[in-house]
Amino acid sequence: MKITKRYRSTVQMNSGLKNLHLIFVLLFSTMMFSSPSYAGWTAVSVSVDGDTIYLDFDRIKKNGGYVYSWRLTNYLEPDEWGDFSSLVYEKIDCKLSRVIRLSKNYYTQPDAKGKPSTIDNKPDKDWAYAAPRSVRETILKNACSR
């Protein structure tokens, strides 16, 4: 079977469109699924330092009068140890507007990617109370509203 010039250009054009479509799909999926907002994370606040705080509303649990939640913080600038993000598991007392950290991991990449640079599974000894109009109050209100 002889392929005509016209058919060859159509085949080349179709394969070019397929490649373009593939590139678009790969770029789109990389952007969509690398962002914390598409991995169950929802931005709930930005600190005065420009750090963005996310909660994973899908993993919030209520037990024994407390709320348990995961919080991801992406730092605008690396902290003094070179970390760009942290992942915290905390216990929240919604009635008294207080929180106690149960574990905290630090990461040298945003979105808690890669291996943790520090793992701290020792719960805090004391509760931290939320000051009015603070980032902590915003986090508590969001977690307790679920």
CATH code (residue 42): 2.40.128.710
Determine how β-strand 61-63 pairs with β-strand 66-74.
antiparallel
Sign, Cα dihedral of 55, 59, 62, 63: negative
State the pTM of this model: 0.72
Residues 67 and 83 placed together within one structural domain of the fold: yes
pLDDT tens digits along 106-143: 999 999 999 999 999 999 999 999 999 999 999 999 99
Residues 22 and 46 placed together within one structural domain of the fold: no
Give the domain range for residue 94.
Answer: 36-144
Residues 6 and 30 placed together within one structural domain of the fold: yes
Nearest-angstrom CA–CA distance, 33 and 42: 13
Contacts of 28 (CB under 8 A, 6+ apart): none
Average pLDDT over residues 89-106: 97
**Structural domains of the chain, count:** 2
- 33 neighbors 39 (Cβ within 8 angstroms): yes
**Residue 83 clears pLDDT 80, i.e. is over it:** yes
Residues 52 and 104 placed together within one structural domain of the fold: yes
Residues 88 and 117 placed together within one structural domain of the fold: yes
How much of the chain, in percent, has pLDDT values that exceed 90? 72
Hey, what are 29's tokens?
């999926």
Residues 56 and 14 placed together within one structural domain of the fold: no
Residues 83 and 44 placed together within one structural domain of the fold: yes
- 105 neighbors 120 (Cβ within 8 angstroms): yes
Residues 90 and 22 placed together within one structural domain of the fold: no
Query: End-to-end distance of the chain based on CA atoms, in angstroms?
Result: 66
Residues 41 and 30 placed together within one structural domain of the fold: no
Can you give the pLDDT at residue 146?
81
**Residue 94 clears pLDDT 90, i.e. is over it:** yes
